Structure 1
Amino acid sequence: MANETKQEPAWRNPWVWTLASIMGVTLLVNITLITIAFLEPPGLVVDDYYEKGKSYLYNKAQREKDLARLAWDLELDLPKSPQLAEPQPYLVRAVDRNGRPIEGARAEFAAFRPVEHGHDFVVAMQDVGAGYYAANVDFGLPGNWDLIVTVQQGEDKLDIAERIFIDD
């Protein structure tokens, strides 16, 4: 019985320490990320998400019907390089199916910041003639912005969407 080896406790084995360290670091990183997520929410969920979700398909179908019925064409004219904290002109041109300008309509410029809630804004666009509507817009924060321009004449309404990036 001289060849008997004495078995060491498991906690003295380096493999046990390695596995325990990996699990500990993983747990610590997950706790940190969960804490950050709760303390600094991005605000990407709208308040009435259920109602908006329910009406999405209806609105999409309605927009497609309106587009086919109206046959309007909206063209958004953006600045070549949008600047931060500097008012710049944004234009939309609205024409009917025959290429005639749509005049006397109401146009609205809406800007949504997809990564941060609370900085969205809406600006009324001015009719500048020949189917053009303009607004001077000043973006206060850099990054991605989703733009939606809506042109409405009576009950007829059509919108166009675009995403832009504002440099700092």
Structure 2
Amino acid sequence: MQTMLLTLVGGAIAIVVVFLLLRLRGGDPKVGALAAAFPVVAGYTLWVALDWPGMDVYAMHLAVYFVTAYALSIIALQRGKGEVRFHWAPALIVAFFGVVISVNAVFLTLANGGLGPETTEWLLPEPDSGAEVRSFFPGTVARDYQEKEELYNRYLERVEKQRERGWQVTQGFTDTPDAGQREAFQVEVLSKEGEPIDGATVSGKFLRPANKKQDVTFELKQVGPGLYRSDLRLPEPGRWDLAMTIERSGAIHEVHARTRIDDGS
């Protein structure tokens, strides 16, 4: 946060200094403001390219730099006309961006460093009952976009290999299943040529969209050529999503499907 404050304020000061130096030579204030902002923006862009802080931080810096240049050009134009006060239109624009930048700076500060102990004590005082109140963030947000892209590319490769392999998979309950009752769930796996696939590991989950705690994990046993079966019990009626994986000798075949379970009435 201290680095961000330094680059924001330092960049704005640099623009002001360069603009004043250019004004000594005269010329159009608008061109001078743009010329003053360009090297600062270019320098900051090259610097953050080595350690990317995120688009929100970069956009905030650009806003501060260009609003500073815009305000300087307006001030210079007003002084050239012998006026001191801003016209309401440019003043409103500068004020708008000032509010936006200030609010974003507060959000970024809280997101990166949280509240300080004094601010926390003021906003969240200890309860009179002496009970302790805690809140937790469940984890970190991944920002490694290259890793996500690599994982997605691997997934596309698996999908293409699965399509070329051409396994024929048929799955379902042997009888109409009712909620709370055990019923045989069966999967038949055949090769592209129609030959049974033996010795595979067939496992997966029945996923309950309304309640993750009700998900049912299973692993089927081979009961015949290319045939795998196990008794399953799904506790509630309604929609269930199936995510199943068939693996043999390093070959992985994924199946996604959906079914509905009766209430038994």
TM-score, normalising length: structure 1: 0.62
Greater length-normalized contact order (CA 8 Å, ≥ 6 residues apart): 1
Q: Which amino acid aligns with 2:241?
A: D
Per the alignment, residue 39 of structure 1 pairs with: none
Q: Quote the Cα distance in structure 2 between the aligned partners of 1:76 and 1:112.
A: 16
Letter in 1 for 2:203: E
Report how far residue 50 of structure 1 moved. 5.9
Secondary structure of the residue aligned to 2:163 is helix
- Aligned partner of 2:242 in structure 1 is 147
Give, in angstroms, the shift of residue 82 of structure 1: 1.9
The one-letter code of the counterpart of 1:92 is V
Q: Name the structure with the higher strand share.
A: 1
Deviation at 1:58, TM superposition (A): 3.2
For the residues of structure 2 that align with 1:144 and 1:84, how far apart are their CA atoms?
Answer: 11
Greater helix content: 2
Structure possessing the higher radius of gyration over alpha carbons:
2
Cα–Cα, structure 1 residues 50 and 107, in superposed 2: closer, same or farther, change >3 Å?
farther
**Structure 1 gap segments, 5+ residues each:** 1-46
Given the alignment of the two structures, is residue 102 of structure 1 paired with residue 197 of structure 2, yes or no?
yes
> Residue by residue, what CA displacement relative to the aligned partner does 1:23-77 show, whole Å, maximum 9, x if unpaired?
xxxxxxxxxxxxxxxxxxxxxxxx89969xx477435413322223322111113
Local SS of the residue matching 1:65: helix
Cα-to-partner distance string for 1:81-136 (whole Å, 9 max, x where unaligned): 32011110111111111111000111113110011121112111000111011111
Q: Quick one: which of 172, 190, 194 aligns to 1:77? A: 172
CA contact (8 A) 2:175 2:183 kept: no
Identity %: 22
The answer to whether the 8 Å contact 1:74/1:159 transfers is: no
CA RMSD of aligned residues (A): 2.6
When normalised by structure 2's length, the TM-score is 0.41
Alignment correspondent of 1:23: none
Residue correspondence of structure 1 range 2-17 to structure 2 within 5 A: none
Unaligned segments of structure 2, at least 5 residues: 1-138
